[in-house]
Amino acid sequence: MGEFGFVRVGAAIPSVRVADCGFNVQKICELLYRAVEQKTQIVAFPELSITAYTCGDLFFQRTLIEESANSIRVLLSMTCELPICFIVGAPVCNNSKLYNCAVVCFGGKILGIVPKEFLPNYSEFYEKRWFQSYHSDNLPSNIIYAGEVVPFGANILFDFCNGKFAVEICEDVWSVIPPSSYHVQAGASLIFNISASDELIGKRQYVKSLLSQQSARCQSAYIYTSAGFGESTTDVVYTGNAYIYENGKLLAESERFQIDEQLIISEIDIELLESERRKNTTFICKPVVDVNKCYEKVEVVFESCGEFNQLLRFVNPAPFIPTANNYDESCDEIFSIQVSGLAKRYIHTGVKSLILGVSGGLDSTLALLVCVKMADKLGLSRRVVCGVTMPGFGTSERTHTNAIRLMELLGIDFRNISIVAACEQHFNDISHDLSVCDITYENTQARERTQILMDLANQMSGIVVGTGDMSELALGWATYNGDHISMYGVNTGVPKTLVRYLVQWVADNQVEEAARGTLYDILDTPVSPELLPKDSRGGMTQFTENLVGPYELHDFFLFYVLRYGFSPCKIYFLANNAFCGNYDKKTILKWLKIFYQRFFSQQFKRSCMPDGVKVGAVNLSPRGDWRMPSDACVKLWLQEIEQIEI
């Protein structure tokens, strides 16, 4: 396994000439050299790429079969010094039967030959005319091919740097139970499929869906390459489709209808796949294969397991944000989950109102929009929602005005209650100097606001709706027994970076036009708790991201800590790839250290956080996704961070 568990793989589509093995080998070799230049470790070529797939009855000719084996021998000689494992397709004779095979080669040797199990017999394919189907539950046998004794069978695991790959051929993945389903149970994390699939209208999307689902179901990488230009077009066209999937996600794909050769490359994250499999209790819950009885393991020894300073694959700097192709659908789904969760709590408790603090910031705005839409969903007057703005020592005119204007435009009940006098009285009660703007000064305001909300909820037969988001919970950026407390938290599953996108989406799609201008201004307002005194012009003096760091970095760290349990070193490596050009390495390392320090030290707040609905793949609920002791030690993680060299 390479550095941080990455292995670089490729899917190649060479130009071919039908039955011209020498030409085909030359083209394969050229692509192999290109792959080596890009530090590719394993690359696959299409089905029957040595002879071309469309030879038809020429597969009955001994001359072609023997030339194919001789060409494999030549190819091995030409590539014996290359540090790359490759898979080519060729017809192979065994016990007087001809099989459509994948030949796995490395270091001038054939490591194994994998025959095709499921042969198509459609109008445009007559493989059963030329080839035999291979079916065996036993260990692969040895055959002599191209002058070598090699394992022959469908059940071969190729073991490389603590990872394993297996091979299936074209139609195999279309079967009811593809061979790859058994291979992954035997330990394979990468599946290579060498194929020759003709082009038909609508077929490409079906194939992509099929491969994505198989990759996701098997929690594996799936590398697929199919025949391209040069195959016979007597009856059909081969357009050169190649795809690299990881756990259902498309990492790279080729362009169709290209005359020139193509090579797509990406890294597969073996650690990510292993993490998914460890957490998925349905994966290999009842193994259907006996690895020792049915599989032969062949070792692939790379001189270097791959060290990549820069990844070819895209590392999303905003992993919580929906992608462009399903943005509207995802935002609608997330917002609907929040609304439905609150609706159930409202109905179950039998209360008459929802109380929440509205500051004019993003979090409280999203919570307010959820409350309003819940009222609409249940056919209630929006007056069941009571928003309370509670200006304190640091409240700016902009946020205060936006809070009041938004509540008016949405048609809810609202209150404007200053906390200044109550806080001054409290400072006097505890003998705190008003001029000392310390943590007591700040948290007094947060707890005073919570007291007001709780008491109003009692007074109005309601519940307090929490506004804090998941990023604040991760960093502990909440006042214990202050804004940390509510009776139901609608944003607890929503990270800070996603809050902004949801408010933007609701503004564009879910509210009356009159309210949009105010929502857009709230979106443009800097994130601030507004707990310190204003400046001479009445503006903010406190900016959250100056204190705890950029939320886009913290949300990135949070995703990989919770979703995959990656080490600090790997998260740092990924962050440098994702934020290259936006943050330098020193800055990323600084905030990564602070993230771990705060994440561990603030678990006690999460251990008693209120109920709140989960909306995505991860959550911090102590009753669900994250069950961590409040007194866990961060030492191991910080030691690893200290060893990182910039």
Cα distances (Å, whole numbers) of residue 581 to 418, 577, 578: 44, 9, 9
Distance CA 244, CA 285 (A): 27
Q: Is the four-CA dihedral 113, 114, 120, 121 of positive or negative sign?
A: positive
Statement: residue 222 has pLDDT above 90 = yes
CA-based R_g, the chain, Å: 31
Residues 395 and 537 in one domain: yes
CATH assignment at residue 41 = 3.60.110.10
Residues 418 and 549 in one domain: yes
Token output for 220 = 């594996």
Which run of H or of E encompasses 105? strand 97-106
Residues 499 and 351 in one domain: yes
Distance CA 1, CA 447 (A): 51
79: nearest Cα among 114, 115, 43, 47: 43
The count of domains in the chain is: 2
289 and 295 Cβ atoms separated by less than 8 Å = yes
Confirm whether 473 is domain-assigned: yes
Active-site pick, 170, 331, 371, 386:
170
Confirm whether 220 is domain-assigned: yes
| pLDDT tens-digit series, residues 58-69 | 999 999 999 999
Which run of H or of E encompasses 106? strand 97-106
499: nearest Cα among 476, 533, 483, 522: 522
Which of 247, 267, 300 terminates a domain? The answer is 300
Question: Which DSSP string do the residues of 585-616 spell out, in sequence order?
Answer: HHHHHHHHHHHHHHHHHTHHHHHTPPP----S
- Three-state DSSP string of 146-195: CCEEEEECCCEEEEECCEEEEEEEHHHHHCCCCHHHHHHHCCCCEEEEEE
pLDDT attached to residue 1? 45
- CA-angle at 495, arms to 489 and 499, nearest 5°: 85
In sequence order, which residues have a C-beta less than 8 Å from that of residue 14 and are 6 or more positions away? 24, 27, 28, 30, 31, 45, 46, 49, 228, 230, 261
Statement: residue 436 has pLDDT above 60 = yes
Residues 231 and 329 in one domain: no
481 and 456 Cβ atoms separated by less than 8 Å = no
Query: Tell me, what DSSP letter sits at residue 271?
Result: H
CATH assignment at residue 610 = 3.40.50.620
Query: Tell me, what DSSP letter sits at residue 322?
Result: P
The conformational region for residue 436 under phi > 0 = left, psi -120 to 50 = alpha, else beta, is beta
Residues 232 and 346 in one domain: no
318: nearest Cα among 309, 327, 306: 327
Q: Is 47 a catalytic residue?
A: yes
Statement: residue 128 has pLDDT above 70 = yes
| pLDDT tens-digit series, residues 502-544 | 999 999 999 999 999 999 999 998 887 777 887 767 676 667 7
Pairing mode, if any, of strands 156-160 and 163-169? Answer: antiparallel
Which of 300, 333, 362 terminates a domain? The answer is 300
Residues 275 and 414 in one domain: no
Q: Is the four-CA dihedral 556, 561, 562, 565 of positive or negative sign?
A: positive
Statement: residue 288 has pLDDT above 70 = no
153 and 142 Cβ atoms separated by less than 8 Å = no
Which of 300, 316, 335 terminates a domain? The answer is 300
Residues 342 and 270 in one domain: no
* Complete edge-to-edge strand list for the sheet that includes strand 262-269: 141-145, 148-152, 109-115, 97-106, 85-94, 42-44, 6-13, 262-269
Residues 501 and 611 in one domain: yes
Residues 291 and 336 in one domain: no
Confirm whether 318 is domain-assigned: no
What pTM value is reported for the model? 0.92
pLDDT: which is higher, 137 or 591 = 591
543: nearest Cα among 527, 532, 531: 527
Q: Which residues pair with 357 in a beta bridge?
A: 388
pLDDT attached to residue 532? 80
254: nearest Cα among 269, 239, 238: 239
Confirm whether 541 is domain-assigned: yes
329 and 505 Cβ atoms separated by less than 8 Å = no
Q: Which residues pair with 97 in a beta bridge?
A: 94
- Three-state DSSP string of 502-530: HHHHHHHHCCCHHHHHHHHHHHCCCCCCC
In sequence order, which residues have a C-beta less than 8 Å from that of residue 13 and are 6 or more positions away? 45, 46, 225, 226, 227, 228, 229, 240, 242, 254, 258, 261, 262, 263
Query: Tell me, what DSSP letter sits at residue 382?
Result: G
Count the Cβ atoms, other than its own, within 10 Å of residue 624: 12
Mean pLDDT of 456-469: 97
Statement: residue 155 has pLDDT above 70 = yes
Confirm whether 286 is domain-assigned: yes
Residues 11 and 131 in one domain: yes
Active-site pick, 116, 164, 373, 570:
116
Confirm whether 513 is domain-assigned: yes
| pLDDT tens-digit series, residues 224-277 | 999 999 999 888 899 999 999 999 999 999 998 888 999 999 999 999 999 999
Confirm whether 439 is domain-assigned: yes
Helix (H, G, I), strand (E, B) or coil at 567: coil
390 and 357 Cβ atoms separated by less than 8 Å = yes
100 and 127 Cβ atoms separated by less than 8 Å = yes
Which residues span the domain enclosing 72? 3-300
Active-site pick, 21, 27, 47, 218:
47
Backbone angles phi, psi at 104, to 5 degrees: -95, 125
Distance CA 459, CA 632 (A): 40
Single-letter amino acid code for the residue at 275 = S
Q: Is 170 a catalytic residue?
A: yes
131 and 111 Cβ atoms separated by less than 8 Å = no
- CA-angle at 101, arms to 97 and 103, nearest 5°: 125
pLDDT attached to residue 531? 72
Distance CA 348, CA 432 (A): 43
Statement: residue 125 has pLDDT above 80 = no
Q: Is 148 a catalytic residue?
A: no
Residues 265 and 346 in one domain: no
Token output for 516 = 């949009």
Distance CA 157, CA 136 (A): 15
pLDDT attached to residue 290? 67
475: nearest Cα among 300, 596, 342, 344: 596
Residues 59 and 198 in one domain: yes
Confirm whether 315 is domain-assigned: no
pLDDT: which is higher, 147 or 410 = 410
| pLDDT tens-digit series, residues 366-411 | 999 999 999 999 999 999 999 999 999 999 999 999 999 999 999 9
